[in-house]
Amino acid sequence: MQQDGLIARLCNRPGLRLGVMGGTFDPVHIAHLVTAQEALVHFDLDQVLFMPAGDAPHKSRHGAPPEFRYLLVATATASNPHFSVSRFEIDRNKVSYTVDTLEYLAGIVPQGTEMFFITGADAVLEILTWKDPARVLELSAFIAATRPGYDLSRLSELLEELRSKTVDLVPEARVRIMEVPALAISSSMIRERLAVGKTVRYLVPDPVAELIDKSGYYKTGGSQTAGRKRCRP
C-alpha cells in the first residue's frame, strides 16, 4: 500500500511526527491545504498524510466517487514533499472509523512516532459522537484548526466529559487549538457553485479545477464523462 511505502521512507527518522488529515475531500479545496500546511509548520511535523474517506457501500452519495476524490487529493498535494495521500480508507469496502484508521497507522509507523490528527473546528466538536473517542485520543494527539462559523469555546467542556473514560491521559492536554487564516470555504459550497456553473477558480488548486471540469462530476444532472462542449468552427 502506498502509505506503507511512505512509512518505509520515513522509517529512519527517530521520533517521527506524523500529521493525519481525514476528510471526505469532495472535492479538496485550498482551506484543507492551508490547514495542513499550518499544522506542518506550527507543530514541526515531518509529513501530513491525507486520508480521504471511502464510501459506505450501502449509502448512496451525491458527490464524486472515492477514486476521483483520491485523484484530486493526490493532484492537490503532489507538489509538496511533506504531503502524502493514503488509499487505506478508500480501499476498504466498509466505513472506516477514525479509531480503526489510527490503529492501523499505529501498527505500521516506526516505534516512537507521534501522531497528530488534524481537524477543523466542526469535526473536533463532534468528537463525543465518534467511535471510541478515548482510544482515539490515546492513539493520536489532536490539532483543532479554527474555522469560520464554528466556536471552539465549547471544546474543553466536551473533553471534560471524556476524562472519566481515560486512564493514562488528560483529554484536554491531547488537543491543541491552532489558529489558521479564516477561509470560509467548504466542499459543500464548492459543489453548490459547480452545480450552477459558477467558477471555483482559486478556491481549489488549478489542476484540481481542470480535473473537475473534465470529469463532469458535481454538475447538476450532468454526465460524468462529458467535458466542455467543443466549439463549433
Using CB under 6 A, which residues numbered 133 to 162 contact ligand ATP?
A: 145, 147
Interface with ligand ATP includes 38 (CB under 6 A)? no
Give the residue, chosen from 19, 23, 171, 205, that forms a contact with ligand ATP under the rule CB under 6 A. Answer: 23
Residue with cell 454538475: 219
- Cα–Cα distances in Å, from 105 out to 44, 67, 213? 19, 21, 34
Are the C-beta atoms of 22 and 101 separated by less than 8 Å?
yes
Give the residue, chosen from 18, 187, 209, 215, that forms a contact with ligand ATP under the rule CB under 6 A. Answer: 187
Question: Exposed e or buried b for every residue in 5-24, given b needs 16+ CB within 10 A?
Answer: ebbeebeeeeebbbbbbbbb
Interface with ligand ATP includes 35 (CB under 6 A)? yes
Q: Closer CB to ligand ATP, residue 6 or residue 64?
A: 64
Interface with ligand ATP includes 32 (CB under 6 A)? yes
Interface with ligand ATP includes 69 (CB under 6 A)? no
Are the C-beta atoms of 27 and 72 separated by less than 8 Å?
yes
- Closest distance between ligand ATP and the C-beta of residue 17, in Å? 19
C-alpha span between 88 and 49 (Å, rounded): 11
Interface with ligand ATP includes 26 (CB under 6 A)? yes
Residue 167, all three cell numbers: 486512564
Which segments of 43-186 does DSSP mark as H helices, in order? 66-77, 88-91, 98-108, 121-124, 133-139, 155-162, 171-174
- Closest distance between ligand ATP and the C-beta of residue 53, in Å? 8
Interface with ligand ATP includes 183 (CB under 6 A)? yes
Using CB under 6 A, which residues numbered 73 to 132 contact ligand ATP?
A: 119-120, 122-123
Residues lying near ligand ATP in the complex (CB under 6 A) are found at 23-26, 31-32, 35, 119-120, 122-123, 145, 147, 180, 183, 185-188
